[in-house]
Structure 1
Amino acid sequence: MEGSPERHSKKKVVAVVGGGLVGALNACFFAKRGFDVEVFETREDIRQAKIVKGRSINLALSHRGRQALKHVGMEEKIVSQGIPMHARMIHSLSGKQSPIPYGKKGQYILSVDRANLNKELLTEAETYPNTKLNFDHKLQDWSAETGLMTFVRPDGSTEEVEADLIVGCDGAFSAIRKQFLRRSRFNYSQTYIPHGYMELTMPPINEEFAMKPNYLHIWPRNTFMMIALPNMDKTFTLTFSLLRDYFRLPAQAMVSVKCSPYHIGDKCVLMGDAAHAVVPFYGQGMNAGFEDCIVFDEIMDRFSEDFNAVLPEYTRVRVPDDHAIADLAMYNYIEMRAHVNSKWFLFRKHVDNFLHFLMPRAVIPLYTMVTFTRTRYHEAVERWHWQDKVIHFEKMRFLIGTVLHCVMWPVLMASALMVR
């Protein structure tokens, strides 16, 4: 940028492409380390925008995301602006409401407003004197060899910027990732689910919530579902998942993206949806993206901020975890619209929670590991499968023992009578 070479010669420059949730949080992480940080966002500054474009779907903030926010001193502020949800509230066809607790007493996830959270993170990033936010800057091209980027402004003029590290946080349809696709040995896949989503708003009744506020409400209907999360203004944001258009309006698509590696040399790394967009059914998309920031920061500590060592290690550590949560989100896509109606599903939830109560270290429910700990996602899945095998083995052993008891008891009684 004009007038910046002298400043940049003193410190390494980190360019964060994308000023959404993960990009804004990343800016705080890098600025806190003392790097000169430049954030580039295609859209206008949402803090000044009359209408915020893009998704407004509510988000569920849990432990992983909170830990990342805590690292930059933002946890308490964001938590104070969220609404605790202690359980799922299942709405049956008959109108019956049945809560399914998320974890132990006192454990909850938080319903937070996406736009407000993004605004808070941008404002926090701007408090660092070594951070500059650049809005209305659309990435046109960039070089993985030199770190040179070209941006287009609204008036059609271009601007060239050079950075020591480019951090791609520009979403599921990342412009940064396009360069990765041109390179050999880059694995990439995307999957659209058949359902789209639309948003509705449930207004308050007599200035109070129309339903119990401290729950994530679900209307599971097998082939479709509706979800409602509470807002601070006493409304609910409802996400309606459907196969066909609702009142002929286009539904928003939901995509799952997997790729590997997450880096190119020591010049560029992908984070958040740019690396691993997930469908929203485990409530971990934002949390996984925020955890990317803290994992990268931890690796920076281990390798003394040497990008040449940090970036490949980040790929090695993070890819299996992000692929695991993408798969879990797909699994929960079926669970939330169908399995929660199953008596067997509810029974297993009670069994898992009971065993966790009896043996808190030996048996930990999958949801607890994912939502209330920082157990690595892929390790949580592996442990879940192991626990499932053990529980099924014990169940079969119990059934076999019961059958043998029923069969052998009459035989033993008959034998005893004959002896007498």
Structure 2
Amino acid sequence: MPEPTWAGAPVESVAVVGAGLAGCLLAAFLGRRGIAVDLYERRADPRTAGAERGRSINLAISARGLDALDRVGLAEQALAEALPMRGRTLHPVRGALGFQSYSADGTRAINSIGRARLNHALLDCAEKTPDVTLHFEHRLTAVDPATGTLTFADGGTRRADAVIGADGAWSAVRRSVQFSEGFDFRQDFLPHGYKELTIPPAPDGGFALDPGSLHIWPRGSSMMIALPNTDRSFTCTLFWPKEGPGGFAALDTADAVRRYFAAHYPDAVPLMPTLAEDFLHNPVGSLVTIRCAPWVRGRVALLGDAAHAIVPFFGQGANCAFEDCVELDRCLDETGGDLAVALPRYQDRRKANAEAIADMALDNFVEMSDRVNSPVFRWTTRARHALERVVPGYVSRYELVSFTTLPYARIEGRIRRQDRLAAGLTTAVVGGLAALASRRGARS
């Protein structure tokens, strides 16, 4: 990719749009390099205004996210405010619960943390970083990629040497370049949406469910999950079709909600005293995969969900966005801080990884909602864990995604090589046993 026309020019100011998780982390990375960063957010400061109802979506922070947070000194704090989940607990309509460990030895865990709690910590981090200035209630309406001029809803304008959009799936920064010649954009919506519910602490003040597990109620084409919180509640998320039988639109009264849950989620109903109220009042969110290119156009760049929104079924949205920040920071190291050269390099390295995790996240919805119920899937999972214990270097796809920082784009190739090795070992073992049996038969 040719260098942009402003390559080599000193970058004294960067505007980061979006004070969510990735935007705050990026601001901290840039600010500690001595770059003046203006961080713009269209909402009021969430540390004082609070989170929107039904929009928290607990995060599952794993190795990639922790690596990024450690670089700004927040990993230890994040883990202190998180709950480790070492596997999935499956809730059938009838019968006993089942448990599936995330790792072969049962010790590795993904970490449940509230989005708002982590966002507050990152906002504090960005605010304390020299040269970073926060601007709330600044709704962006346009960016000029040629000049770096930002225009806001109140008519005000600002200019920066570079503008980085970290403003989510519905990015205003991306919209400013999205309809220009040569910009490819695609959004794929699932027919499903999501809605949040709550399981409060048990009457004795403890957890109503096992807090060391991610709980799943798999129902084929839909599911409910529950992640633990440090206040001993659980944040539940329904992933249902928006329309049709078994969809959100089909339940529009409190009685209908209670009857449906009694039939399909019977063990959860006694744990959810505000079930009908939460269901009828909390919003339905959309599930979308967004792919676009290029991520860099003139003085404008995209990062996180603004560049590559993914569905949440692998718990990698925030982890992937944090890795974007780490890669851009690495590219700045390699280019002597030349942002104009670092941004295209960051795009080249991250695009294939974003595509890979987007595909894996879509596939994991089928796994979580349906395949986990299959005896074949459960046998395969146990077999893979057995291979991990006896074959050096054999690691499952889930562990490669969640417990390593191996680039997403290299994971499928690693899995194929492992499977060929495992098949070869199996053939060799079976052949050896057959030969041994033949020799014993010949001696008898």
TM-score by length of 2: 0.84
C-alpha distance in structure 1 between counterparts of 2:387 and 2:317, whole Å: 29
Is contact 1:166–1:269 with CA below 8 Å preserved after alignment? yes
Residue 366 of structure 1 is matched in structure 2 by 397
Partner letter of residue 345 of structure 1?
F
C-alpha distance in structure 2 between counterparts of 1:165 and 1:54, whole Å: 34
Identity of aligned residues (%): 39
Say which SS state the counterpart of residue 48 (structure 1) adopts: helix
In 2 relative to 1, CA 66–151 (structure 1 residues): closer, same or farther, beyond 3 Å?
same
C-alpha distance in structure 2 between counterparts of 1:44 and 1:335, whole Å: 38
Residue 208 of structure 2 is matched in structure 1 by 210
Residue 126 of structure 1 is matched in structure 2 by 127
C-alpha distance in structure 1 between counterparts of 2:212 and 2:150, whole Å: 46
Say which SS state the counterpart of residue 333 (structure 1) adopts: helix
Residue 147 of structure 2 is matched in structure 1 by 146
Residue 399 of structure 1 and its aligned partner are, at CA, apart by 8.4
1:281 maps to 2:281:
no
Q: Which has the higher contact order (CA 8 A, sep 6+)?
A: 2
Is contact 1:204–1:235 with CA below 8 Å preserved after alignment? yes
Say which SS state the counterpart of residue 49 (structure 2) adopts: coil
Residue 349 of structure 1 is matched in structure 2 by 381
In 2 relative to 1, CA 334–395 (structure 1 residues): closer, same or farther, beyond 3 Å?
farther
Partner letter of residue 237 of structure 1?
T
In 2 relative to 1, CA 396–342 (structure 1 residues): closer, same or farther, beyond 3 Å?
farther
Please show how residues 188-267 of structure 1 align to structure 2 within 5 Å: 188-205=185-202, 206-243=204-241, 244-245=247-248, 247-248=251-252, 249=280, 251-265=284-298, 267=299
1:309 maps to 2:341:
yes
Candidates 292, 300, 312, aligned match of 2:332: 300
Residue 173 of structure 1 is matched in structure 2 by 170
**Displaced runs of 4 or more, over 4 A:** 389-402
Please show how residues 59-208 of structure 1 align to structure 2 within 5 Å: 59-103=59-103, 104-152=105-153, 157-205=154-202, 206-208=204-206
C-alpha distance in structure 2 between counterparts of 1:41 and 1:326, whole Å: 26
C-alpha distance in structure 1 between counterparts of 2:336 and 2:369, whole Å: 46
C-alpha distance in structure 1 between counterparts of 2:118 and 2:170, whole Å: 21
Residue 221 of structure 1 and its aligned partner are, at CA, apart by 1.1
Say which SS state the counterpart of residue 206 (structure 2) adopts: coil
Residue 182 of structure 1 and its aligned partner are, at CA, apart by 2.3
C-alpha distance in structure 1 between counterparts of 2:335 and 2:344, whole Å: 11
Residue 183 of structure 1 and its aligned partner are, at CA, apart by 2.6
TM-score by length of 1: 0.88
Residue 177 of structure 1 and its aligned partner are, at CA, apart by 0.7
Residue 230 of structure 1 and its aligned partner are, at CA, apart by 0.2
C-alpha distance in structure 2 between counterparts of 1:27 and 1:338, whole Å: 40
Partner letter of residue 111 of structure 2?
L
Residue 300 of structure 2 is matched in structure 1 by 268
In 2 relative to 1, CA 223–311 (structure 1 residues): closer, same or farther, beyond 3 Å?
same
Residue 354 of structure 2 is matched in structure 1 by 322
CA RMSD of aligned residues (A): 2.5
In 2 relative to 1, CA 392–181 (structure 1 residues): closer, same or farther, beyond 3 Å?
farther
Is contact 2:54–2:195 with CA below 8 Å preserved after alignment? no
Say which SS state the counterpart of residue 345 (structure 1) adopts: helix
Residue 76 of structure 1 and its aligned partner are, at CA, apart by 0.7
In 2 relative to 1, CA 358–51 (structure 1 residues): closer, same or farther, beyond 3 Å?
closer
C-alpha distance in structure 1 between counterparts of 2:148 and 2:329, whole Å: 21
Residue 374 of structure 1 and its aligned partner are, at CA, apart by 0.5
Unaligned runs of 5+ in 1: 1-8
Unaligned runs of 5+ in 2: 1-8, 242-246, 253-279
C-alpha distance in structure 1 between counterparts of 2:10 and 2:421, whole Å: 58
C-alpha distance in structure 2 between counterparts of 1:330 and 1:397, whole Å: 36
Partner letter of residue 375 of structure 1?
L
